[in-house]
Amino acid sequence: MNIKTRRIFLGKITAVAALLPRLELFAQQAPAEDTSSPSASKDVLRRMGGEHHTLNGIHYIAGTGANDGYPKEDHMLVSDPFEKHVTRTMEALKKSVERAGSTMDDIIHLQVFICLPLADGTSMPTGKARFDAHKAPYETLNNIYKTYFSSGKAPSPACRAFEWIPGDSLIEIVGTAKVVNSAAPVVDK
């Protein structure tokens, strides 16, 4: 990383750090919405922290990865097989949309982020080797992905490759689903 890139990165981090205390003040001043009563709104605004949320009949899936919904002692590592990362991420996605009152076939849009399981000190491949390194997990993802949807119902995901994804996951999914059963709980934790 050159010095200019480091300065830009540190400048952005400093700006975010300066903004966070102000956001906390606003969060403390906002009145809490009562969702426990039957007359309360079925739509719950998203809280800071990235939880999934439902608003106006749309369930927003915020960064679902392979370790979501699992205790720390059962967390996966980047060294675990990519297939297991994909399966656990898709299971977490399925649980999230079902808790919101949807099914996998009600998913409108998905963005899928994948990364390579690079260990410390291992450099990122370059050129054609980099393309080939990302192609294998992409094909694996597609083979597992299509098994979670009815025939012809799988949304075409936008897929992007990154060098790193937070949470020791090799895959992360973001998306939206329409809520078809509003009687179901709308908050996913």
Helix/strand/coil (H/E/C) assignment for every residue in 4-23 = HHHHHHHHHHHHHHHHHHHH
pLDDT the model gives residue 37: 40
Q: At 173, is the pLDDT very low, low, confident or very high (cuts 50, 70, 90)?
A: very high
Instruction: Give the contacts of 62 (CB within 8 A, at least 6 positions apart).
Output: 46, 50, 51, 52, 53, 174
Domain ranges of the chain: 1-30, 42-178
Instruction: Tell me the average pLDDT across 116-144.
Output: 83
Q: Which of 20-34, 59-73, 114-128 is least confident?
A: 20-34
Distance of CA 112 to the CA centre of its chain: 8
Count Cβ neighbours within 10 Å for each residue of 142-154 and write b for 16 or more, e otherwise.
Answer: eebbeebeeeeeb
42-178: which CATH number, 3.30.1330.20, 2.120.10.30, 3.40.50.12170, 3.30.1330.40? 3.30.1330.40
pTM comes to 0.67
